[in-house]
Amino acid sequence: MDLEGMPGISSVAQLAPKRALYEDARRIMTKIASFVGNVLKDLGVDEVVIADAHGYMVNVIYDELPPGITLVSGFPRPLSMVAPIDKYRFDGAIFLGYHNAVGTPHAIFDHTYSGRVFRSVKINGYEVAEYEVNTYILGEFDVPVILVSGDSTLRDRVGRLTPWAVFISFKESLSRYSAVSKPLNKILDELKRGIEE
């Protein structure tokens, strides 16, 4: 799960430790992780693994996760955002809080892995977002992406690469640093229905 595509996140002050609003962002991220974990457990999923994949990858508040949820955290790690895909067998993947690729007009926090390092990331000649990179890696391990959530500007990318996946918009981007977030209760309801599909 990533942070930039989470609802209520629109300021760099929310994105890193020691920033003024970071703890608020951690609580939002943890609340959504916990909710999704509970929905999956209620549906009979044996094991739920949450991969914290933003920044230093230590954002989810571990002791606030529900019982039975495994947390992968820390950076760097092999296969980055989708670790430990090479160590376990997964039936499906859910991407939470994703954002669009570097250079996408009006997309909030547009970047691909590192906005300071990469100005463009391409696979087979096409500009890609973290969503596509991670989807391709998962494909190498025969793990389908079943749900993608985050910034509204991702919808077309998801529809092209994984048309079977449910897409849930958490917020509508207005610019690189502004967005309109849906009410949290509506987001949680959409996530529950999307996961049940």
Q: Dump pLDDT digits (tens) for 119-160.
A: 777 889 989 899 999 999 999 999 999 999 999 999 999 999
User: What pLDDT is attached to residue 112?
Assistant: 83
Mean pLDDT of 73-89: 90
Q: Residue 167: pLDDT above 90? A: yes
Compute how many other C-beta atoms are within 10 angstroms of the C-beta atom of residue 54: 23
Looking at residues 75-95, what average pLDDT do you find?
Answer: 91
By CB atoms closer than 10 A (0-12, 13-18, 19+), residue 15 is middle
- As a whole-number percent, the residues of the chain with pLDDT over 70 amount to 97
Angle at 57 between CA 48 and CA 192, to 5 degrees: 35
Q: How far apart are CA 197 and CA 193, in angstroms?
A: 6
- Beta-carbon contacts of residue 141 (< 8 Å; ≥ 6 apart): 85, 86, 90
Position 86 confidence tier, pLDDT thresholds 50, 70, 90? confident
| Size of the chain in residues | 197
The pLDDT, as a whole number, for residue 115 is 61
Task: Answer whether 0.85 is exceeded by the pTM.
Answer: yes
Residue found under tokens 């980055």: 80
Q: In order of start, what are the domains of the chain with their CATH numbers? A: 12-196 (3.40.50.10780)
3-class DSSP state for residue 142? coil
